[in-house]
């Protein structure tokens, strides 16, 4: 039982630590006339600063030229209400104080170096329903305070000032877990976790799922299922590489596979390592971690 539990934990940890990154290697340049852009690239930008916040539910809070004079400057993560107490008399009223609709807005400009790139905004958590707009246009909605989400905003951007606006509904949501029943803790309200902007090339890793099948005692294999999207206008050949390192950064496995993908299509690429020996299985007494990093070139 102990070994089985350790195996399950190790599988979960490697899967959770898989780096969903696209570190592109530059294509060959035989012209000697300059550097060729990498086939695949990824840049992650901290998007927590520079936000404006209002506790009012504006009917037109998404429009680009909204009067923001009553908004306050905030950084994320943020709380729409700070509670004075966490128990005792009056607490029931306190925990209802964050149940309202608010708006968050952020202005940003992208440099010319990002022309032709794919731009995505990742929210790690918004309590509880988030409606996201860019430059006045609706991008998408997410329900649930405890699940992250991301939207591709590339087609909504312009070359000058851009505005992302988020309407946050923190009212009680009986149809959204965990509020389908009785909840004995505070869900809170606001953009309660980090926000990132992820800028990639037209080709990128859309998903990575890592498992450790056949894991026994001190040896096992790493299996990776990687989804690659080709947003270029022509068919291209891509190489997916998965590198597994131990806690000291020493590489213990490296697997690669090449795949041609038609323009506009995506492909799921499966990779399996050779048997890895002398593994340290995770346990409460020895919480040892391995890292799986996925790259696209």
Is the pLDDT confidence value at 91 over 80?
no
Q: Which residue has the higher pLDDT, 252 or 14?
A: 252
For residue 22, count CB atoms less than 10 angstroms from its CB and return exposed for 0-12, middle for 13-18, buried for 19 or more: buried
pLDDT at 92: 73
pLDDT at 7: 41
Q: DSSP code of 84? A: S
Domains of the chain, each with CATH number or no CATH: 2-41+202-296 (2.60.40.10), 43-200 (2.60.120.260)
pLDDT at 37: 63
Categorize the per-residue pLDDT at 187 as very low, low, confident or very high, splitting at 50, 70 and 90.
confident
> Taking the CA atoms of the chain, what radius of gyration do you get in angstroms?
23
- Identify whether the C-beta of residue 279 lies closer than 8 Å to the C-beta of residue 7: no
With b meaning 16 or more CB within 10 Å and e meaning fewer, what string describes 24-46?
A: beeeeeeeeeeeeebbbbbeeee
Show the DSSP H helices in the chain as ranges.
Answer: 2-17, 91-94
Residue 225, both tokens: 């299922």
- Distance in angstroms (rounded) separating the CA atoms of residues 150 and 130: 11
- Identify whether the C-beta of residue 164 lies closer than 8 Å to the C-beta of residue 121: yes
Is the pLDDT confidence value at 22 over 50?
no
Strand partners, 245: 251, 291
Parallel, antiparallel or unpaired: strands 126-127 and 190-191: antiparallel
Is the pLDDT confidence value at 33 over 60?
no
Residue 8, both tokens: 């399950």
Percentage with pLDDT > 90 across the chain: 69
Percentage with pLDDT > 70 across the chain: 86
- Distance in angstroms (rounded) separating the CA atoms of residues 22 and 201: 9
Is the pLDDT confidence value at 181 over 90?
no
- Identify whether the C-beta of residue 295 lies closer than 8 Å to the C-beta of residue 256: no
Residue 150, both tokens: 């991301």
The mean-pLDDT minimum among 3-12, 31-40, 191-200 falls in 3-12
Is the pLDDT confidence value at 35 over 80?
no
109-155 residue pLDDT tens = 999 999 999 999 999 999 999 999 999 999 999 999 999 999 999 99
């Amino acid at each position: 039982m102990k070994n089985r539990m350790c195996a399950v934990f190790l599988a979960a940890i490697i899967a959770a630590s898989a780096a969903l990154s696209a570190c592109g290697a530059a294509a060959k340049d035989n012209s000697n006339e300059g550097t060729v852009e990498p086939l695949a690239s990824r840049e992650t930008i901290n998007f927590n600063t520079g936000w404006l916040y209002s506790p009012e539910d504006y009917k037109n809070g998404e429009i680009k030229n909204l009067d923001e004079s009553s908004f306050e400057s905030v950084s994320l993560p943020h709380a729409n209400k700070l509670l004075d107490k966490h128990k005792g008399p009056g607490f029931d009223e306190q925990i209802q104080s964050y149940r309202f609709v608010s708006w968050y807005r952020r202005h940003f400009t992208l440099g010319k170096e990002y022309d032709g790139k794919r731009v995505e905004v990742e929210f790690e958590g918004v309590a509880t329903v988030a409606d996201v707009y860019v430059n006045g246009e609706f991008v998408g909605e997410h329900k649930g305070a405890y699940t992250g989400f991301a939207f591709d905003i590339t087609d909504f951007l312009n070359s000058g000032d851009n505005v992302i606006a988020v309407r946050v509904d923190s009212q009680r949501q009986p149809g959204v877990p965990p509020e389908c029943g009785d909840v004995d803790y505070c869900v809170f309200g606001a953009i309660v976790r980090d926000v990132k902007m992820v800028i990639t090339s037209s080709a990128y890793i859309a998903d990575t799922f890592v498992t450790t099948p056949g894991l026994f005692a001190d040896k096992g294999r790493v299996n990776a299922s990687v989804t690659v999207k080709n947003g270029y206008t022509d068919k291209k050949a891509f190489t997916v590489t998965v590198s597994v390192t131990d806690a000291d950064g020493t590489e213990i496995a490296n697997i690669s596979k090449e795949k041609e993908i038609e323009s506009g299509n995506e492909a799921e690429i499966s990779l399996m390592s050779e048997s890895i020996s002398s593994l340290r299985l995770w346990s409460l007494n020895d919480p040892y971690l391995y890292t799986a990093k996925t790259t696209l070139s």
